[in-house]
Amino acid sequence: MLNNPYVEKVENHKKILIETEEIYSHQWKWNTYFKNTHPIHLEIGTGMWNFFWREVVANPDINYVWIELRYKRLFATAEKAMKGTWDNFIVIKDFGQNIDKIFQAWEVSTTHIHFPDPWWKKERQKKHRLLQSDFLKHLYDITKSWWNLIFKTDHREYFDSVIEILAQQWLWKNKIVSYDYEAELSHFDTKSITEFEAYYRRFKTKICYLEAEK
Ligand SMILES: C[S@@+](CC[C@H](N)C(=O)[O-])C[C@H]1O[C@@H](n2cnc3c(N)ncnc32)[C@H](O)[C@@H]1O
């Protein structure tokens, strides 16, 4: 991390948690942290936070938790969010794979995962993918009943692998499965898309969309 100017900015940022001991100490106590009992919405792999700002403005009664790994993106997300008057969010530097240490059972309402790295170039790289069997089981455990996982990707093979795992697990109920959600779903909205989705749309890439319910 030598020469990365964002390391220090992230380390000193009051809305970014980086120490795992502190992050995991909030497990089952996030409502105490936020000082209310509002539902928690989670986004993993937030990137530059282009998606959630409209949500945050529109929903002061929801607490937002964003998990990201990269320093510049963590900082950009926290800074953009802090420009508003709202305080209902926290940014966490950790691997999304650690959700079972960050949250207790039934602590999270909706989770968004938009364009996670597909790790597709070599077969052996697929082990780095976020959405795998254990992760999806842990995500199920921390999610409240009748709430959702929303997953978008341009990578059809990754998408199909997730659908296959869910079918094997018999846990989540697939409410919406679309291989081209712009064409198929009425709630597609260009104003609510992430940085990566905007990029792929320039090439007319079809975007896969999954909404699964606990
Ligand atoms: C392809 S980008 C998508 C960013 C954003 N969701 C979007 O759609 O514009 C994937 C993001 O996930 C983050 N990331 C990759 N692996 C992760 C992991 N294991 N846990 C949390 N974030 C991760 C990367 O740093 C990157 O910002």
Q: Would the CB of 118 count as within 6 Å of ligand 1?
A: no
Q: Would the CB of 119 count as within 6 Å of ligand 1?
A: no
Strand order in the sheet with 40-44: 16-17, 89-93, 63-68, 40-44, 111-114, 148-153, 208-213, 173-178
Question: What 3-state class would DSSP assign to 84?
Answer: coil
Q: Would the CB of 115 count as within 6 Å of ligand 1?
A: yes
Place of tokens 């009051």: 14
Q: What is the pLDDT of residue 178?
A: 97
Task: Chunk the chain into consecutive blocks of 10 residues (it has 214) and report each block's average pLDDT, rounded to whole numbers.
Answer: 88 96 97 96 90 80 96 93 84 98 98 95 89 98 98 97 97 96 85 88 94 98
Q: What is the pLDDT of residue 172?
A: 96
Name which of 65, 28, 70, 20 is nearest 48 in CA terms. 70
Q: What is the CATH number of domain 5-213?
A: 3.40.50.150
Q: What is the pLDDT of residue 43?
A: 96
pTM of the prediction? 0.96
